[in-house]
């Protein structure tokens, strides 16, 4: 039976950040439309995607959470 330690698990998680699709990001930030999300990106109100893979825009979960935290503090 393969056993992993907590330290090994944390190392793997740190090495491979969780990537979120547009729909997942929108659900986290209050479910704006796609157009609104892109308008925010264009205006600098929301971070641009961290990755584009196969024409899919992907954000790192940490990026979105940091934006949420910053906006909660500002409110």
Residues in the chain: 75
Count of alpha carbons within 13 angstroms of residue 22, beta-carbon side: 15
3-class secondary structure, 13: helix
The residue to which tokens 């986290």 are assigned: 28
The residue to which tokens 């969780």 are assigned: 18
- Domain ranges (residues) in the chain: 17-74
Q: Which residue has the higher pLDDT, 5 or 19?
A: 19
Position 1 pLDDT exceeds 90:
no
**70 confidence band (pLDDT: 50, 70, 90):** very high
Q: Using only the alpha carbons of the chain, give its radius of gyration.
A: 15
**14-33 tens-digit pLDDT:** 667 899 999 999 999 999 99
Going by the DSSP 8-state scheme, the letter that residue 23 receives in this structure is: H
Longest dimension (CA), the chain: 52
The class that CATH gives domain 17-74 is mainly alpha
């Amino acid at each position: 039976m393969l056993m992993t330690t907590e330290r090994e698990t944390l190392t793997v998680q740190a090495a491979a950040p969780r990537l979120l699709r547009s729909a997942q990001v929108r659900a986290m930030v209050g479910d704006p439309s796609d157009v609104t999300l892109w308008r925010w990106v264009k205006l600098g109100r929301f971070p641009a995607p961290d990755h584009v893979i196969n024409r899919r825009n992907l954000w790192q979960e940490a990026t979105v959470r940091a934006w949420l935290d910053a906006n909660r503090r500002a409110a």
